[in-house]
Amino acid sequence: MAWIKRNLFFVIGGILAIGLLGAAGFYNYKGWSHNTAALNELNEIYSTLRDLTSKKPSPGNDKINNIEAAKQQESQVRDWIRQAGDYFKPITPVPNPSNGMVSSEEFAAALRRMIDQLQHEADTASVALPPQYDFSFKAQRDLVRFSGSLEPLAQQLGEVKTIAEILFAARVNALDGIQRVRISEDDVAGPQADYLDDHSTTNNLAVLTPYEITFRSFSPEIGVVLAGFASSPHGFIVKGINVQLAGAAATMSPNAGPPGPAPGTPPAPGKGGLRAMLNEQLLRVTLVVEVVKLLPKK
């Protein structure tokens, strides 16, 4: 006790020093705990950010909000789809009963009636057809009972009618054939010339059904055919075109005058009036066309 009295200031200083050391230790511990928690949170945030930026597409950053941009682009695409719908109007099936269910009797009658109508339209437009042409429905022409559902066949008949009438409107010289995809068990018995070795495809927006059309014409009529598909209110996409000479002999175009000089020979002086120099050859054209049928809106 006497020692404490003699060294009172020393003892008080030591006690204060120990207290300060304890306070400093406690402060350091709290700081270390806080720093550790902050570091863990930072690592977690960094990991989340790294995962987000590695996604395709990236959500962006503080200057570019890719998520919001994607939403705006999606809205623009949907607006475009609504506007484009005016150019992808569905083709009316043949027949097209009000209840949507096609019976064998209805389809058989409609098929024969439609073939006769198309043959008459071809004759009116001076378009030559193969003898007794059935417009790719030879397998069904003479049937009164059909296999499977008839709604897909009715849709195909409507599409074939629309395609044929575009060719008739262009007044091509001859329609050699229209080929379609097989969709019925009855198609198995049909002639190979009526069918494509292909099938319809479906994506997120539409069903695409291919057709192959072979016809003969001169080049102006080819342009009219392509313009007919392009201006149609229905969804037609020309996927391919193959053009070759229809025969070895040249064919004079309608209303052309006497044959012109041989290639490389200058024309003889005229004796008055105009002389037709066009000597175009008949062409054989094969078109691959897809009919686009938009899926119902969800």
Q: Across residues 229-253, what is the average pLDDT?
A: 80
Q: What is the pLDDT of residue 257?
A: 41
Tell whether the model's pLDDT for residue 107 goes beyond 90.
yes
User: Cα dihedral sign for 234, 168, 118, 212?
Assistant: negative
User: Mind listing the pLDDT tens digit for each residue in 266-277?
Assistant: 545 544 555 555
Dihedral pair phi/psi, residue 108, rounded to 5°:
-60, -45
Tell whether the model's pLDDT for residue 185 goes beyond 50.
yes
Q: What is the pLDDT of residue 122?
A: 98
Residues 146/137, Cβ–Cβ less than 8 Å: no
Higher pLDDT, 89 or 38: 89
Predicted TM-score (pTM) of the model is: 0.65
Q: Which of 235, 174, 241, 239 is nearest to 206 (CA)?
A: 235
User: Mind listing the pLDDT tens digit for each residue in 70-83?
Assistant: 778 777 777 776 66
Q: Which of 134, 108, 106, 107 is nearest to 119 (CA)?
A: 134
Percentage of the chain beyond pLDDT 70 is: 67
Domains located in the chain, CATH noted:
90-249+279-294 (3.30.70.60)
Helix (H, G, I), strand (E, B) or coil at 287: strand
- Calpha distance 242→236 (Å, rounded): 17
Q: What is the pLDDT of residue 79?
A: 74
Higher pLDDT, 51 or 199: 199
Higher pLDDT, 76 or 213: 213
